[in-house]
Each structure stands twice: as C-alpha cells, then as structure tokens.
C-alpha cells in the first residue's frame, strides 16, 4: 500500500487527537484533588504504590456496621501496603446527615475507625470527580453507584481493578481474594 506523507500525517494527527481526548475523559485517579475530613487538601497520590479500597459510606445505613469489617481489613493488610479510604455521602436515603466533625466522632467512637476519612461528597448530582472517574463509561468497570458502601479496589498501579456492591461484606472471601491478588501483583512488578 502506497500512502502519501500528507495522508500519513493526517492519520497520525487523528490518532493523537483521539488519544489526547481519552486522557481528558479518564483523568488519572491518583491526581484528582481530595479533601480529608479535617479539611486538608490532597490526592490519592499520597497512597501511590499501595492497594486502595475506596468506599462510599453513611452513618445511618443498614450497612453502617461494615465500618467494623473495613477497619479489620485495614488493620490486617496495612502492613502490606493497603489502605481503606472512606468517603461519606448523604446521597442515598439521606443517611449521612451529620457534619464532618460528627461523622468522624461517630466512626472513631462507635467503630474505632483509624483508616482515612474524607469530607462528604456527592455521588449523584455534581458527583465528585473521583467518583465520576470511577463510574464513567471510560472507567475499566463503569456504572452508577447504587447505594452506600459500594467498594472500589485500586491496584498499586493506580488503576481500578474491581468493584463490589454494598452487600459485599468486608470479610467476604471474594473481596479478600481480590485484595490479596492485588497485593501479590504489586510484589511481582518490583
């Protein structure tokens, strides 16, 4: 096939445009700005190289008891470069009505939570950019968040690896196996 230099450049320019558009549509999860529950600015990059479990939480939900299991996961796997990150949201059933201070007090006093918590986020209308990226059509596992305590597993490479519904308990074999798999995958790449 004989292709003219001008046509080749046009094809190359089109491919670059598509590639650049994809980068804008699916931002790097690790660099999306976040605000923790104390109001400090940051990003997931603070946990770069770790396996991250992101959970949208609520203090007055039937799944709220999962805080205990999430803390147990955090304690078990933290020495192996794992972290749980809790993102309170009032979007489902108005089940997180409290202030950041009330949420933190509830989580630490009732469930002894020590994993990082963040300021309340919206997951539906004007969704937080992190959750937009996790659920968008460009996401490796797209689809809307359906209720409180959805779980998103990010590998050490900063890529979404698995999603779990609200009814997946923190001590479920499925979730623990996925965490173990990502912890092991991270070891092999070193």
Q: Give catalytic residues, as residue numbers.
A: 61
Q: d(Cα 130, Cα 30) in Å, to the nearest integer?
A: 9
- Rounded-to-10 torsion of CA 71, 105, 100, 56: 20
| Residue whose structure tokens are 């965490």 | 179
Give backbone dihedrals phi and psi of 65, rounded to 5 degrees, phi first.
-60, -15
Chain center to CA of 45: 12
3-state SS assignment for residue 83: strand
- Local structure of 30: helix, strand or coil: helix
Cα distance between residue 111 and residue 71, in whole Å: 8
Two structure tokens written together for 132: 């937009």
| Euclidean distance between CA atoms 113 and 83, whole angstroms | 12
Stated length of the chain: 190
Which residue is it, tokens 């933190």?
104
């Amino acid at each position: 096939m004989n292709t003219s230099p001008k046509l080749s450049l046009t094809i190359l320019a089109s491919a670059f445009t598509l590639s650049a558009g994809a980068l804008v549509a699916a931002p790097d999860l690790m660099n999306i700005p976040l605000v923790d529950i104390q109001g400090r600015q940051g990003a997931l990059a603070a946990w770069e190289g770790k396996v991250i479990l992101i959970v949208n939480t609520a203090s007055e939900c039937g799944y709220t008891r999962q805080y205990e299991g999430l803390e147990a996961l955090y304690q078990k796997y933290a020495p192996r470069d794992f972290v749980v990150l809790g993102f309170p949201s009032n979007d489902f059933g108005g089940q997180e009505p409290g202030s950041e201070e009330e949420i933190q007090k509830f989580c630490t006093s009732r469930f002894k939570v020590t994993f990082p918590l963040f300021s309340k986020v919206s997951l539906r209308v004007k969704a937080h950019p992190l959750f937009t990226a996790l659920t968008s059509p460009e996401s490796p596992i797209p689809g809307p968040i359906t209720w409180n305590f959805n779980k998103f597993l990010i590998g050490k490479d900063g890529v979404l690896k698995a999603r779990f519904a609200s009814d997946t308990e923190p001590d479920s074999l499925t979730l623990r196996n996925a965490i173990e798999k990502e912890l092991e995958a991270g070891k092999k790449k070193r």
